[in-house]
Amino acid sequence: MPDSTLAARILQARTTAQLTVMEVSRLVAVKPETYKRWESGNSEPRVNKLATLAGVLGVSPGWLLSSEEMPMGELSSAEQVVLFRQRIEQLTAMQNRMQVMLDELSCDLDDHSNTENELTA
């Protein structure tokens, strides 16, 4: 029988996924302390973090919120590992794209600063 609170379902999904608090917090991009508060029921994730958390844990946001469906219950352990690796690859690709965008923005700022300096000199 699924647990009745969001915190309990987060803990259950993390345990099922065999992930540590540190791994989940890193993948969801929150401090471990923040994640621990979610698991303990002292706070709840915002909607955008809830969706990311669900993806990392291999469950639907709906299951986390109301336990309407079971988390990956029909998949074998090997299939679950494949899905987790795919999610990690997706998040890594997103992180790499964000780094490229940050680098481009930094270059644009440098170019703008140099142009502004030339105009005022």
pLDDT per residue over 89-110, tens digit each? 777 877 888 888 899 999 999 9
CA-based torsion, 77, 3, 54, 92: positive or negative: negative
User: CB-based contacts of 21: which residues, under 8 Å, 6+ apart?
Assistant: 14, 32, 35, 36, 39
Instruction: Give 62-80 pLDDT, tens digit per residue.
Output: 788 875 544 555 667 776 7
pTM of the model: 0.55
Q: If you search the block for the tokens 């481009």, which residue do you land on?
A: 104
